[in-house]
């Protein structure tokens, strides 16, 4: 019991740390993912990040829906799509960072269950200064575009 109280106190201290002030400055919009096809175990999530605070860096992602989540970039090399893990994504005040098909994305590896149209799942974004921000990712098809 005593340990529990101590743990609670530590959590309270963490919440009152200066980092908490920055999280409110970060805004995540339009978080979505495509439904997975067949038995696919991997998926990708997309979203838009902006901040009204200080420059920050998105350094990690996680979701209970996936065994592992990574930040990836995608580039075309001689007509071949290449995905690479990236260490961090820079966020600058006044500039939206878009994670979108064909570019930066959140890679979801080892999905616990298929991503079904209309469902949602939580995604936690960890920022270097702002700390953790949790969003709900909506599973839908690309708005106004053909699924590919
Ligand atoms: Cu990827």
Q: Is the pLDDT reported for residue 20 higher than 50? A: no
- Please tell me the predicted confidence (pLDDT) of residue 143: 65
Ligand 1 centre to CA of 117 (Å) is: 20
Q: Is the pLDDT reported for residue 144 higher than 50? A: no
Q: Is the pLDDT reported for residue 9 higher than 90? A: no
Task: Name all domains of the chain by residue range, CATH numbers in brackets.
Answer: 21-139 (2.60.40.1890)
pTM: 0.80
Give the pLDDT band (50/70/90) at residue 106.
very high
Ligand 1 centre to CA of 119 (Å) is: 21
Helix, strand, or coil here: 39? coil
Ligand 1 centre to CA of 60 (Å) is: 14
Tokens of 109: 């590896």
pLDDT (tens digit per residue) in 36-66: 998 899 999 999 999 999 999 999 999 999 9
Ion ligand 1: residues, CB < 5 A = 72, 83, 107
Evaluate whether 113 touches 6 at the Cβ level (below 8 Å): no
Ligand 1 centre to CA of 59 (Å) is: 15
- Please tell me the predicted confidence (pLDDT) of residue 39: 87
Ligand 1 centre to CA of 102 (Å) is: 10
Looking at residues 90-104, what average pLDDT do you find?
95
CA angle 65, 21, 52 (to 5 degrees): 85
Ligand 1 centre to CA of 55 (Å) is: 25
Q: Is the pLDDT reported for residue 89 higher than 70? A: yes
């Amino acid at each position: 019991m005593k340990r529990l109280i101590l743990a609670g106190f530590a959590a309270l201290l963490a919440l009152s740390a200066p980092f908490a002030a920055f999280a409110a400055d970060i805004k995540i919009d339009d978080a979505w993912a495509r439904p997975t096809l067949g038995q696919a175990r991997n998926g990708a999530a997309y979203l838009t990040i902006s901040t009204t605070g200080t420059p920050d860096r998105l350094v990690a992602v996680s979701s209970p829906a996936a065994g592992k989540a990574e930040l990836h970039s995608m580039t075309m090399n001689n007509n071949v799509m290449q995905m690479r893990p990236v260490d961090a994504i820079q966020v600058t005040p006044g500039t939206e960072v878009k994670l979108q098909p064909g570019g930066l994305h959140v890679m979801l590896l080892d999905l616990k269950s298929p991503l079904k149209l209309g469902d949602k799942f939580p995604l936690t974004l960890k920022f270097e200064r702002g700390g953790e921000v949790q969003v709900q990712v909506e599973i839908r098809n690309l708005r106004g575009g053909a699924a590919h």
